[in-house]
Structure 1
Amino acid sequence: MTTPVLLSPEVSAALADWLAHLRALDGASENTIRAYGADVARYLGFMARHRGGTEGVAPLAALPVADLRAWMAHERDRGLGARSLARALSAVKTFTAWAADRSGADATAVLSARGPKLKRRLPRPLSEDGARAMLDDVGEGARLPWVAARDTAVVTLLYGSGLRISEALSLTGADHPLPEVLRIRGKGGKERLVPVLPAARAAVTAYVAACPHEMTAGEPLFRGVRGGALNPRLVALAMEKARARLGLPASATPHALRHSFATHLLAAGGDLRAIQELLGHASLSTTQGYTAVDAARLMEVYEQAHPRA
């Protein structure tokens, strides 16, 4: 087990200031800040051990590439995967750029370092039948009728509008009754307009009618049993139970419903640019991942129809 290293007061203060800087940026979630903070703290601790003592901010920003490679090798040795290491390197570069700007150090070596090559992961949507079955079944495991209506409303909205779970749970009583087109604030504070299907509006209306908690403009639309904001983990748990009953794969998660929305829309002839706008993707290349999923499914159908001799 590696012995923890205390950072110098200067470096500790710099790390705290950088995290405060991230918090001030629009779209930097608390989960992202915690992950980046942990990654950079481990990096700084390694450098203190590797270089034989704590250093100031300027020398750390101007480290040679050999030291950075030593840190990356250490992270791989402790079992960090390529994707996690890429995230950690991104955090280190972000911190280093900020530190270099403050101290005037030359951070070229660190900022130009290349991360591990990542194999692009394809989205894992449900089939159309699987998505329908999830919507029909997700409320079956609830002990209270209004909770069943709530869970059904949430997953119907995720699948019907392609929302992230955080976006759905950020809706308030002011959003009810849901309009035909909903304005959503997504990652980075970017706003987009998404259509709300009649089935989703009906599901939310049924939930609100059954919910024992008063719906006011300033309160969350989706509530927990005690009346507070609904924990996203409870939605995931309801889907876990439903997929076990339905025999669906472990990839049938709340986020998979967003993938399913995009994939099924594309399969029905949807325009890729329009789907990009509906999902709120900053880059078209992210949305293009769904074309690969569609092609993969097409080949799967082809192989089943034309098995090799």
Structure 2
Amino acid sequence: MDRSHRRVLYDRVRLRANQHGASKDCCLALPSAENNLSLRHQEWTKTATGPPCRTLRQNGGQASSHNLFVRRGWEGGARNDEGFTTGLEHFTSLGYDVVALDYRLGIKIAKERNEITPANGTEMYLRAIQWSVEDLFDATSFVLKHADDWNIDKDQIVLMGGSSGATNSLVAEYNVANATELARTHLPVGFKYAGVISMAGAFWLKANTPLAFKNQPAPIMFFHGGKDQLVTYDEVEGPFSGYGPVAYFRKFPGPDYPKWFVDYPQGDHIIAAMPMIDSLNEMDAFLEKLVKERQQVSIHAVEEDRMPKTFANAAALLPKP
């Protein structure tokens, strides 16, 4: 299958290079907390010219696709976390390359500096998101700089994340679609992501910021639970403006804004991880139809389960070690 028009960036999970056969044409990238860069088993130190990242690739011919994932509450997580290994191996088996990268953990840093207080907590979280998006943009620029050497299609980079990583990815797309100063400063002129996959993420913006776009946003795939304890499912206005998938579908109905929402009314924040276990086929379809083929469709799928996807049911839902 020709996947030469796909790209995905991912965060947080370890993959081993050269586990599978020759690559097709896609790539996954993962932000993490390690301070090194490895490419095809070569180790690089962090420098001012590029963010720390790990590129795990198969030997390929055609230009490949790319995916980026971001992690836990802006306090922790590592690109060698084994929790998503099986899911990412699914992508590499289809020919995706994987780039793993680091970003600053803003809340961890704020706590270490004793900066965060009950009064400024929202401000610290918004700063953490901005730092993460800035680092994500720098990592994207680093990948673009090496795209020809790595045989990566620059027009097919897809962001992917869970929880804080999903929020970072959505806010990154918000900045790109609105050509903000942050995007203009850290990304090449005219660059656009080809898609976003969000697992329990939301657009978290400064207070009184409407969810609006100057330019057409990339196709977005949302996975989200109606009982999510942490991340906005619909819409909230207060110390910050939060917009989840329900709000996105309400504000941008119809196929003019390509999107796909897998909706779990009974699900909670475990949806930040579950799709990498049981919804890989849906992700494949999103990448094929909305990213590669650029189909103009709007899909809202509602899943109700006899055993709801919640942390209370985690032992039964998650694969046995």
TM-score higher than 0.5? no
Which band: TM-score by shorter chain?
A: under 0.3
TM-score, scaled to structure 1: 0.24
Which structure: larger Rg? Answer: 1
More helix by share: 1
Q: Which has the higher strand share?
A: 2
TM-score scaled by length of structure 2? 0.24
